[in-house]
Structure 1
Amino acid sequence: MDVVKLQIRCPQSFNGVGLEPDPDWSFSTLLSELDALEKKLNISSSTVPLPLTKVKSREFYGEKGTKRSSNAFVMRVSDEEFEDSESDDEEVYDHDRGLVKASRFQCDEVYLSSSEDETDDQQPCLDVRPYLMNEVGLMESALYELTNAHQLGVKEEIRNAISALETDLTNESEKSSSAHTKVEKYRDARREVERKFDIQYQRRIAEGLDNHLTDVQRDHEFKSQIEERRIRSDAAHEEAKRREKALQEERLRQEKAKAEAEVQAKLKAEEANRIALEAERIAAKEAAEKEAAKASKATTSEVPQMEALGGRNATSSGALIAQPKGSENDKTNKSQSAGNMLRAAESALNLERERMQKLKELKEINQSLRSSLNQDFGSTERHIGRLIRQIRGTKDNVSTKASELVKIFNNPGCPQTISIASFAKKVVSHCESPDNSPFACGYVIVLVTSQFPQAADAVVAELQRACIYTVPKHISYSKSAFESKEAYWKALGFREDDGKIESKKDYLKRLESYMKLYGALVQTEGRQNVHGLKEGWAWLARFLNALPANIYTAVALNAFLQVTGFALYRKYKSQFVKLLNIVLENFLSALRSQEDPELRPIMAEIQSYLEDKKFLEEPEGRTLQGSLLSSVMVPDSDYQAPSYYQQGRNYF
């Protein structure tokens, strides 16, 4: 089948309207246009025969006999004819083969002529070319058109599907690109915000650091200024104190020298008087001897007279002697009665008298100094009391307090005897305090008395004056010796407050406190402890040999063993165990025989101590806590330090 190409031989546009027919016309549209042209030609030229007269409009039906709807008519050329000429544009053509509706146009002035001899002015607008299709039958044309239309429909559907897919793909690509762009923009925005936040945070940190450093520098400068002012003030104050102290020391030195000179003069006067009295006594004795020698040379005539008078003189002499003899018997009886009342070892009583005499002399000297110097030493005594109250069970504390007390003793502003007497009195009274640490106080006493040995006797004397069981001694009640029970209790050491004697419970608590301090003192193994373990051993032996078994002695013995038993066992071993056996067999048996309910708690404690062998365990608080004391004052090997120790027990 040949293919023809129709071209319009008229201009391409007419009055601004394109004359080229739409290449996508449908076949029915073409037929309708052809019918319209035939009608126009028939009307315009009635004399000219109409070769193209058509009786019935051209209609085509589909494969099933239904009338086919008007579709776009597409004019195409054969692929074989234009294979060579249009090979370059084949891909573009295949891509743009979609059906496009054509715009309808009219050619009122164009007509078709049936004659080929017309002039050029009357040449028809459409010229039939030789390459038009050959005339074929109606059925073949219809079949061809149906086939071509079906192919075009299938291709159109394929192109539409491809176009839809391409459109969807393009839309998805655009959406993805848009989303990716938005994500990138959001990420950039977040990075920018974070960068700004980071810069702002770093700026705030830098500002805060700068402000802090400025404040620190300002504070440091302020403190430096305060410190400088304080140093200058302290220096000025110290200088003033130094000058005042120097003046005071000079004045005290002069007054002390004056007082010592007065004391020396007084002692010299007393010594001179004593020597004079001794000389007079010797002279009188010599004179008496001379008189006796002269009397022996008397005449013999006087001897019978003397013998005659001898009976009466002897009688008289006997009567005179009888009175002193009777007095001596009375004194012996009184001594024996007093011996039954006072239970103590003779050696312990002698040592007590010596210490009490030294303490009495110390107080007399202090009284003399106070009266002569006319000065109040209350601040020094209060300072000593404050230091003693601050003693705790740590090594640093013990060392510090002992050093400060030694400085006070060496202070020339206060006589040493006054400091010693105040120290002895206050350290003994402090043991009654609830926060007292007997081991720590014991070590402070040893550290101080190692440099001032005269203070040791003062401390022990104050202890024995406050508690008779530290001697040890006991006073038994006797109606003939004491006017009342209150007098007897006062002799034992009971205190009287507003005319009332303290209770036995309070007295036993104080008794236990005194015994613990005494035990802590004797068990302290430091240098130059003049009242060490040998004194503790002697106390225990004297106690068991002389003192009776009662509630007072039981409390004293239990407190002493609880504190000192560990140290005594370490030194005396089996000998100490023998003494404990005596306590178990004799002392506890004597307590049980009394059948006193008040004795049961203290008997149970002593028995538990002996049976459980608690003397093998170091008592609580014996070892100090903290850094070691100076090895010069207390050797490391011997140093055992106390901490807080349990206070007096309630036995009732």
Structure 2
Amino acid sequence: MCISDDDMEDYEKDSEESYEQPLKKGTRFSCPDADFSDSEPSDDELYLERPQICLMDRTNLAESFLTELEREHHLRVKEEIRRKAFALEAELKGENERSLSAIAQLEKQTEMRREMDRRMDKQYQRKIAEALDSHLSLIQRDHEQRSQIEERRIKDDAALEEAKKREKALHEARVYQAKVEAEAQQEAARKAEERQKAALEAARISKAEDQGKEDEKVSKISPGETAKKKIEPPVAISVKTRRHLLTKSSNENWHVMASFRDFEKYQRLIARQLRQITGTVENVRTKSIELSKILKDSRCPYPVSLMVFSKKVLNLCENQGASFDGIAFAVGHVIVRVSAQVPETVDYLLAEFHKACMYTVPQFVQYSKVMNRAKEYQKLIGYREEDGKIESTDSYLDRIESYMKLYGALVQTEAGDVPNPHGLKEGWAWLARFLNVLPVTRFTAVALEAFLKMAGFALLKRYRIQFVKLLNTISARFLPVLKKSQADPEVHRITSKLETYLEKKLYLREPDGRRLEASLSSRVHMA
């Protein structure tokens, strides 16, 4: 707290006035008791001193009184100054508090104003961004419309040109088709006599098989054995001839269409639809419809589209995964549904089956004791050659197993009210011909095991005791012959698989994936 100079000067003046006034009054005093007579001259000094002492005493009393008054006045002044100072300090504190409150309020208002400005800026920026986005969208839409118009114009021009090319290609295809049909008729007439001879030869070979001929071992090929004989039943020869004619016709059309610009597109389209097949009802129905539309497309010659479909179906066997068995059943359903819309599909597919795997006919190529090379025999029965090297037997058998699984899945497929043109009746006939004609080897054992694994359950449901008798025939006649050649460890493996299938009666158990699921979610729930 500070005291101003003016207050100090007033204080000094008041002190001086209060100090001077008592002194002036103090000069006027009387001494009525003092005695100034000369009755006792000897005591002059005493009498002179006494009045002085009395005067001094009274004077000191007045001074003391004045001093006390002055001290009280000083105290009052100090108290007044202190009171004013406290009041002034309280007023200053109140003023400071009011100033601080006003400053805080001002800062709060300033911050609120800033926040409001910030929100207004964001809202304004948002509106600008929306307006800019709308403007850009309009520009983009206009550009797309112009691009679409230009693209339609280009497509129309290209379509006109393509129509001319397709018309020319279709005309050439029809010419080739007519030529092939004429040749097929001539070939059929010429083959009639050959079928009779083949039937007699097949009967002779079948009789030789029942007597236990010695040249039955095919899996062990010696360099000195080569001349080939094909063992086929008469029915198989007839079927093979028809399939061969279809394959020949399709191959000629295939070379014609190889130069067609959209040919690769059709192949990729069919392959993509087949790869997307899953074991659900909706997927099978959708893919069947899509594939039927593709096969009926007039832009691609009919035989060529069927040939592409057949080749792509069999390509699934070469890229099989862990779930191939379930996919094979779903593919069987798709094939049956497509064949209901395109009846020739099954003929072309079976022709491709017979070309890729002779055991689907069934037929078997056997050596006689004539000098030739083993490599030619392997290529004849279906081994593949890459970079001058023949594939391994394990790789060959894996493909044979996949082909037979897909064939078995097709045979046992029952697609509700959609008839199967190559169903259980054909599967039963195939199995009978297979066991009656083909020799017992490692190759035929693999084919038989794969077929039974996929179609055994359905054959049991249809033929019951007859199928069980057929399985007993396999146990009594097929397996004992197979066990005699167990010097090869791979033969022991396939023998064990067949014995397990028969002893554990796996044909009583429905294969996984045979029954289509309602949806993928239900399949996951059941898992």
- Taking structure 1 as the reference length, the TM-score comes to 0.55
Counterpart position of 1:382: 264
Closer, same or farther in 2 for the Cα pair 1:190/1:559, shift >3 Å? farther
2:246 corresponding residue in structure 1: 362
Partner of 2:335: 445
- For residues 294-319 of structure 1, give each alpha carbon's deviation from its aligned partner in whole angstroms, at most 9, with x where no partner exists: xxxxxxxxxxxxxxxxxxxxxxxxxx
Equivalent residue number for residue 237 of structure 2: 353
Note the 1:559-570 alignment, pairs <5 A. 559-565=450-456, 567-568=458-459
Which of the residues 399, 407, 414 maps onto 1:525?
A: 414
- Asked if the contact 2:202–2:232 (Cα under 8 Å) also holds between the matched residues in 1, the reply is no
Work out whether 1:483 is the aligned partner of 2:372. yes
Q: 2:509 aligns with which of 616, 627, 634?
A: 616
Query: How far, CA to CA, are the matches of 2:180 and 2:442 in structure 1?
Result: 48
Residue 145 of structure 2 aligns with an amino acid whose one-letter code is E
| CA contact 2:365–2:381 (8 Å) conserved in 1 | yes
Q: Which amino acid in the other structure matches residue 179 of structure 1?
A: E
Unaligned runs of 5+ residues in structure 1 are 1-16, 40-51, 62-66, 75-97, 102-152, 275-328, 629-639, 642-652
Letter in 1 for 2:318: E
Amino acid at match of 2:269: L
Query: Which of 100, 104, 118 matches 2:73?
Result: 100
Q: In 1, Cα distance between the equivalents of 2:292 and 2:338?
A: 6
Deviation, structure 1 residue 575: 6.4
What is the match of residue 55 of structure 2?
Answer: 55
CA gap of 1:521–1:263, structure 2 versus 1, over 3 A, is: closer
Pairwise CA distance, 1:392:
1.9
Residue 557 to residue 387, structure 1, CA distance change in 2 (3 Å): farther
Structure 1 CA distance for aligned equivalents of residues 304 and 64 of structure 2: 145
Write the letter of the residue equivalent to 1:227.
E
Which of these residues, 100, 119, 122, is aligned with residue 182 of structure 1? 100
Shift of the alpha carbon at 1:495?
A: 2.4
Percent identity for Structure 1 against Structure 2: 30
CA distance in 2, matches of 1:564, 1:260: 36
Q: CA deviation at 1:430?
A: 4.3
**Mapped partners of 1:518, 1:410: distance in 2:** 24
> Could you tell me whether the CA contact under 8 Å between 2:332 and 2:413 is conserved in 1?
yes
Structure 1 residue 621: Cα displacement: 8.5
Q: Distance in 1 between matches of 2:505 and 2:310?
A: 36
Which residue in the other structure is 1:536 paired with?
A: 427
Structure 1 556/212 Cα, relative in aligned 2: closer, same or farther at 3 Å?
Answer: farther
- 1:290-369 aligned at under 5 Å gives the runs 349-365=233-249
The amino acid across from 1:551 in the alignment is R
Does the 8 A contact of 1:511 with 1:555 survive in 2? yes
Q: Does structure 2 conserve the Cα–Cα contact (< 8 Å) formed by 1:252 and 1:413?
A: no
Q: Which amino acid in the other structure matches residue 448 of structure 2?
A: L
Bigger relative contact order, structure 1 or 2 (CA pairs below 8 A, ≥6 apart)? 2
Given candidates 116, 124, 131, the residue that maps to 1:199 is: 116
**Mean CA deviation greater in 202-211 or 375-384:** 375-384
Distance apart, 1:169 and its partner CA? 8.6
Q: CA deviation at 1:530?
A: 0.8
Counterpart position of 2:357: 467
TM-superposed deviation, 1:416: 1.7
Partners of 1:166 and 1:369 in 2: CA distance: 123
Q: Shift in Å at residue 415 of structure 1?
A: 3.1
**Native 8 Å contact 1:512 1:555 kept in 2:** yes
Query: By how many angstroms is 1:206 displaced?
Result: 1.8
Q: How far apart are the structure 1 equivalents of 2:339 and 2:298? A: 18
Q: Deviations over 1:130-176 (max 9, x none)?
A: xxxxxxxxxxxxxxxxxxxxxxx9xx79x96x997997698568646
Q: CA deviation at 1:334?
A: 7.5
Which residue of the partner structure matches residue 433 of structure 1? 319
Shift of 1:457: 1.6
The answer to whether the 8 A contact 1:393-1:439 is kept is no
Q: Are residue 556 (structure 1) and residue 447 (structure 2) matched? A: yes
User: Structure 1 455/171 Cα, relative in aligned 2: closer, same or farther at 3 Å?
Assistant: same
Moved more, 434-443 or 493-502: 434-443
Paired residue for 1:125? none
Residues 411-433 of structure 1: CA distance to partner in whole angstroms, max 9, x if unpaired? 44443223323332343244213
Whole-Å Cα distance in 1 between the matches of residues 161 and 138 of structure 2?
34
Partners of 1:552 and 1:213 in 2: CA distance: 72
Is 1:609–1:615's contact at 8 Å kept on the other side of the alignment? Answer: no
- 1:462 is displaced (CA, Å) by 1.6
Q: Does residue 597 in structure 1 map to residue 489 in structure 2? A: yes
- 331 and 207 in structure 1: CA distance in 2 versus 1, 3 angstrom threshold: closer
Q: Does 1:224 align with 2:141?
A: yes
Q: 1:212 to 1:393 in 2, by over 3 A?
A: farther
Question: Which letter does structure 1 place at the counterpart of 2:375?
Answer: E
**Cα separation, 2, equivalents of 1:586 and 1:209:** 86
Residues 352-387 of structure 1 deviation map (CA, whole Å, 9 limit, x = unaligned): 32332223323454577789xx77555455334323
Alpha-carbon shift at residue 503 of structure 1 (Å): 1.1
**Structure 1 residues 513 and 251, CA, compared in 2 at 3 Å: closer, same or farther?**
same
The equivalent residue for 1:511 is 400
Distance 1:33 1:479 in 2: 173
Distance 2:16 2:252 in 1: 154
Name the SS of the counterpart of 1:531 in structure 2: coil
TM-fit CA distance, 1:507: 0.7
CA distance in 2, matches of 1:496, 1:208: 70
CA contact (8 A) 1:522 1:536 kept: yes
Q: TM-score, normalised by structure 2?
A: 0.66
Amino acid at match of 2:442: I
Provide the secondary structure at the position in 2 that maps to 1:520: helix
Q: CA deviation at 1:470?
A: 1.9
Q: How does 1:26-425 map to 2 (within 5 A)?
A: 32-36=23-27, 55-58=55-58, 71-73=67-69, 99-101=72-74, 171=89, 175=93, 178-179=96-97, 182-183=100-101, 185-186=103-104, 188-248=105-165, 250-251=167-168, 349-365=233-249, 378-379=260-261, 381-390=263-272, 391-394=275-278, 402-425=288-311
Residue 568 of structure 1, CA deviation = 4.7
Alpha-carbon displacement from aligned partner over 1:563-617 (angstroms, at most 9, x marks no partner): 4455556656676666666666765565555444224444555555563848635
The corresponding residue for 1:501 is 390
Cα drift, residue 213 of structure 1: 1.7
Distance (Å, rounded) in 2 between the aligned partners of 1:367 and 1:593: 43
Describe the superposition over 1:231-265 as per-residue Cα deviations: whole angstroms up to 9, x where unpaired: 3133323432443354445545666676777789x
Cα distance, 1:206–1:476 mapped onto 2, change above 3 Å: same
Report the CA distance shift for 1:215/1:356 in structure 2 as closer, same or farther (over 3 A): farther
Give the superposition deviation at 1:531. 1.4
- Code of the aligned partner of 2:405: K
Larger Rg: 1
Measured after TM superposition, the shift of residue 473 of structure 1 is: 3.9
- The amino acid that maps onto 1:208 is Q
Range with bigger deviation, 500-509 or 383-392? 383-392
Is contact 1:359–1:458 with CA below 8 Å preserved after alignment?
A: yes
> Residues 384 and 405 of structure 1 are in contact (CA less than 8 Å); yes or no, is this contact kept in structure 2?
no
C-alpha distance in 2 between matches for 1:580 and 1:169:
123
Q: Relative to structure 1, is the Cα distance of residues 597 and 259 closer, same or farther in structure 2, using a 3 angstrom cutoff?
A: closer
Equivalent residue number for residue 299 of structure 1:
none
Q: Give the whole-Å Cα distance in 2 for the aligned partners of 1:589 and 1:184.
A: 111
Superposed CA RMSD:
5.2
Q: How many residues align?
A: 451
